[in-house]
Amino acid sequence: MKVLVIGGGGREHALCWKLAQSQRVHKIYCAPGNPGTATVAENLAIEAHDTQALLLFAEQHKVDLTVVGPELPLIAGIVDAFEARGLRIFGPSAEPARLEGSKAYAKNLMARAGIPTAAFEVFTDADKAREYVQTTGVPIVIKADGAAAGKGVVVAQTMDEANEAIAAMMERKIFGAAGETVVIEEAMRGEEISVMAFVDGDTVKPMLAVQDHKRALDGDRGANTGGMGAYAPVPVATNEVMQTVLRTIIVPAVEAIKQTGIPYRGVLYAGVMLTTRGAMCLEFNCRFGDPETQVILPLLQSDLADILCAVADVELEKTPVVFAPRAAVCVVLASGGYPGAYEPGKAIHGLESAAGMDAVAVFHAGTAQDDAGKTVTNGGRVLGVTATGDTFSEARARVYAAVRKVGFDGAFYRSDIGARAEANAE
């Protein structure tokens, strides 16, 4: 079969890499892709948001399955457009994708479905938002309603931080229309995990729990980022915890969406806080996480193409989803200055020697090819290096040995990804 993967980051490289291992897949296209996807797929000069060009390509080249990586095309309705033309596509349609497209929609759905979550209020008026913070006190969480590339959440520890977040989102509009409405909610304490599940509208099959590291610097210090690394499985996410998350968060969400008349098909990703009150839902995303995908797929033993087709065809119930009983750790190499301003175009060395190591995969996120055909940096998060092992200590030793082989001017990474899991697992 022919598969088209939409997107051009580390998540999409991991998807192409895994699909290339399928017996069923003989051709992969990636739009727009990157130098990493080019090693396992044919890159297309079509942007992820160009739905009409993607539709035309899929029809002309008789693509059997299209897989959508990023959230924005999903929120914009790419699945609806493909399905209207009778094309098979993996991902939720626009209405259920509002779970990620609007935090207010998601929180209201949680309240309606009885999903445990933080107490919240929704505001469209900045003065009313400030008044609410004044009476509620800090710490408090302020979230832009719309999709803001994972950067629209501020955990304010002081009144000044809270007021600044409200002003930035609602008055200075740093996220554009995405911040015109904000959700303000109580701050929860606990251990945060990401639980992704394959959903075909009826059947729900969970993946392993993942923990990602959002802060730029070791010890969870520094600015918030799109994610500096991740590991799976998560020792604190025991079998019992996973069953609770499924029963109280993921399944009720799937059922609530089904009641709107448009079933949820694709990956449903729940951000979960394990608190003294139990598992609480922080947010939903409507696609594979990044960098979570880069640790999940190396552990997946089942054929990914089989699973994605089964979801699109509503046949997930009879399709196995099996993971290896191993550990995986992904470390992101970022450009100097990230998540602030950084300079692209730095030559990257050591890619082949790292990728050639046993049980290591190097996923390209923000890379490009220069005029001389050399791979150079082209983003804040440049590479995600993943290693697997029988234990966390083996996976961590392996991943950091690989990371030390790769470099570029100004590169930095966290040296403590998965350290907590290694300590907890021993």
Q: Please give the angle made by the CA atoms of 306, 311 and 307, to the nearest 5 degrees.
A: 25
The whole-angstrom separation of Cα 395 and Cα 398 is 5
Are 224 and 171 in a shared domain? Answer: no
Close Cβ partners of 52 (under 8 Å, ≥ 6 residues apart): none
The whole-angstrom separation of Cα 198 and Cα 217 is 32
What value does the mean pLDDT take over residues 295-320?
99
The whole-angstrom separation of Cα 82 and Cα 224 is 35
What value does the mean pLDDT take over residues 134-146?
96
Are 152 and 195 in a shared domain? Answer: no
Strands 215-217 and 221-224: antiparallel
pLDDT given for residue 54 in this prediction: 99
pLDDT at 418 over 90: yes
Task: Answer whether residue 130 is part of any domain.
Answer: yes
Q: What's the whole-model pTM score?
A: 0.96
Domain encompassing residue 89: 2-93
Residue 261 φ/ψ region, left for φ over 0, alpha for ψ in the -120 to 50 degree band, beta for the rest: left
CATH classification at residue 332: 3.90.600.10
Of 78, 93, 108, which marks where a domain is finished? 93
Task: Answer whether residue 199 is part of any domain.
Answer: yes
Of 297, 318, 339, which marks where a domain is finished? 318
Task: Answer whether residue 148 is part of any domain.
Answer: yes
pLDDT given for residue 382 in this prediction: 98
pLDDT given for residue 425 in this prediction: 76
Percent of the chain with pLDDT over 90: 97
Are 173 and 289 in a shared domain? Answer: no
What value does the mean pLDDT take over residues 109-131?
98
Q: How confident is the model at residue 296 (pLDDT cuts 50, 70, 90)?
A: very high
Rg (CA), the chain: 21
Are 381 and 399 in a shared domain? Answer: yes
C-beta separation of 38 from 54 below 8 A: no
Task: Answer whether residue 405 is part of any domain.
Answer: yes
Are 355 and 402 in a shared domain? Answer: yes
C-beta separation of 227 from 150 below 8 A: yes
Mark out the alpha helices in 216-374 (DSSP H runs).
239-245, 251-258, 293-299, 304-312, 351-355
Task: Answer whether residue 63 is part of any domain.
Answer: yes
Are 347 and 417 in a shared domain? Answer: yes
Q: Count how many domains the chain has.
A: 4
pLDDT given for residue 223 in this prediction: 87
Are 333 and 419 in a shared domain? Answer: yes
Residues 205-239: tens digit of each pLDDT: 999 999 999 999 999 999 888 899 999 999 999 99
CATH classification at residue 80: 3.40.50.20
Residues 156-174: tens digit of each pLDDT: 999 999 999 999 999 999 9
CATH classification at residue 147: 3.30.1490.20
Task: Answer whether residue 100 is part of any domain.
Answer: no
Of 289, 318, 347, which marks where a domain is finished? 318
Task: Answer whether residue 163 is part of any domain.
Answer: yes
Q: How confident is the model at residue 329 (pLDDT cuts 50, 70, 90)?
A: very high
Are 77 and 11 in a shared domain? Answer: yes
Q: Which two tokens stand for residue 308?
A: 């994605």
Are 214 and 310 in a shared domain? Answer: yes
pLDDT given for residue 226 in this prediction: 87
Task: Answer whether residue 102 is part of any domain.
Answer: no
pLDDT given for residue 149 in this prediction: 74
CATH classification at residue 229: 3.30.470.20
What value does the mean pLDDT take over residues 307-329?
98
Are 141 and 79 in a shared domain? Answer: no
pLDDT given for residue 405 in this prediction: 98
The whole-angstrom separation of Cα 8 and Cα 365 is 7
Are 68 and 6 in a shared domain? Answer: yes
Q: How confident is the model at residue 198 (pLDDT cuts 50, 70, 90)?
A: very high
Are 284 and 254 in a shared domain? Answer: yes
